[in-house]
Amino acid sequence: MATLLAIRDHGVPLPAAAVAYSPVTDLKCTGETYRTKEKICLSPKGMAQAIAKHYAGDKDPGLPYISPLYGELHGLPPLLIYAGEDETLCDDAVRFAEKAKKAGVDITLRIGEGMFHCYPAMAPFFPEATKALQEICLFTNKHIGGLSD
């Protein structure tokens, strides 16, 4: 998501659409699910905060190119976002989608009930992942052309 903001801001043509699995949009880690899902998320306790510190380095983690949740989201291409209900990053996806929608972005958010981080990548191992991947393929084909089925 941060890359999309940078592309837009630098006048580079944006892609026709984008798909994200469990995007990290808030390296300040302020979403409620960082706390409420900590015990059931597959990530070890404190992992998100540790990764955020390494990723941001000595920079402010609230900068939009680090944490796109804090950026201006207008003008982004159509987006399809998947997140698992049982992951600490769930609120990153939800809050980003809400803000993007308010900014006029064509965005679809799918929260997988009882699912974990990046669950669509597990297709074809279980039905929820397979269904998600099928929807991702349809979304991509719709926006960039290709097969309709």
Provide the percentage of residues in the chain whose pLDDT is more than 70. 97
Residue 64 lies in a domain: yes
Residue 33 lies in a domain: yes
Structural domain for 16, as ranges: 2-144
- How do residues 105-137 score in pLDDT, each as one tens digit? 999 999 999 999 999 999 999 999 999 999 999
What is the reported pTM? 0.93
Residue 149 lies in a domain: no
Instruction: List the CATH number of the domain containing 95.
Output: 3.40.50.1820
Q: What distance in Å separates the CA atoms of residue 6 and residue 133, rounded to the nearest whole number?
A: 27
Yes or no: say if 120 and 84 are a contact pair by the CB < 8 Å rule. Answer: no
Give yes or no for residue 83 having a pLDDT over 60: yes
Give yes or no for residue 147 having a pLDDT over 90: no
pLDDT of residue 94: 98
Residue 135 lies in a domain: yes
Strand 18-21 with 79-84, pairing:
parallel
